[in-house]
Amino acid sequence: MISIGGLTGFWITALLVLYGADMGETSGNSLNEPDVPFPPAGPTALNLAAICHHGQGRPRYPPSFFPNSRVGHFRRRGAAINRLESWFSLCCSGQVAQQSDQILCCAQQAWKQALSQFCVEEYSTMTKAYVCCADRGDERWICFDSELPNPNYDPTPGYTAPQIPEEPGFTFNANAC
């Protein structure tokens, strides 16, 4: 037999769960974690045009995007994406590469360098590093280039990226292409 107190407790818990499931938050999850789609896809001949032409339509993550605490891993992901988008702009601008095969090579170098730097930052903390960072060589890049949230680098409808300072630290090596 079920007691009235037990049944009342069940319904109160159920209502709290249902109410908490949709609080109107824009974060997209019940833990109020920032939405930082990660990892970015590796550049290919198929997505290079979108990388170069829709850069301002993909999200950036300024410091104000994140809450003040408990989201260091999301901050590192956002910083990696900001860095990568900055370096993609450099590759696509024609300043470092002229032909499409060089632009693709530049974008691939930028992707690998940005994610390598992300892994260095991941291991500099006392938290568990992103799973792909444990891999080495080609296995790392295969891991990062799987289960992608935006493999085609599609822009976000109605979004225009805020101005983010250019990220230093990337130099295109044309001899590596």
149-165 per-position pLDDT tens digit: 999 999 999 999 998 88
End-to-end CA distance of the chain: 74
Is residue 132 located within the same domain as residue 156? yes
Confidence at residue 119, expressed as pLDDT on a 0 to 100 scale: 97
pLDDT digits (tens, 9 = 90+) for 63-96: 888 888 778 889 999 999 999 999 999 999 977 7
φ and ψ of 148, to 5 deg = -90, 140
Is residue 98 located within the same domain as residue 59? yes
Is residue 145 located within the same domain as residue 94? yes
Is residue 63 located within the same domain as residue 24? no
pLDDT digits (tens, 9 = 90+) for 114-139: 999 999 999 999 889 999 999 999 99
Higher confidence at residue 28 or residue 93?
93
Is residue 98 located within the same domain as residue 118? yes
Confidence at residue 30, expressed as pLDDT on a 0 to 100 scale: 45
Cα–Cα distances (Å) from 175 to 40, 97, 112, 142, in that order, read: 25, 12, 16, 23
Residue with tokens 């935006």: 150
Is residue 59 located within the same domain as residue 79? yes
Question: What percent of the chain has pLDDT above 90?
Answer: 63
Is residue 85 located within the same domain as residue 26? no
Is residue 28 located within the same domain as residue 68? no
Higher confidence at residue 67 or residue 175?
175
Is residue 66 located within the same domain as residue 95? yes
- Counting the structural domains of the chain, the total is 2
CA distance 168 to 166: 6
Domain of 139, in residue numbers = 37-176
Residue 172 has pLDDT above 50, yes or no: yes
pLDDT digits (tens, 9 = 90+) for 34-63: 889 999 999 999 999 999 999 999 999 998
Is residue 26 located within the same domain as residue 42? no
Is residue 19 located within the same domain as residue 44? no
Give the relative orientation of helices 72-92 and 100-123 as an angle to the nearest 10 degrees.
160
Confidence at residue 2, expressed as pLDDT on a 0 to 100 scale: 52
Is residue 62 located within the same domain as residue 87? yes
19's CB contacts (< 8 A; 6+ apart) are none
Confidence at residue 94, expressed as pLDDT on a 0 to 100 scale: 79
Confidence at residue 66, expressed as pLDDT on a 0 to 100 scale: 85
Neighbours of 94 (CB within 10 A): 12
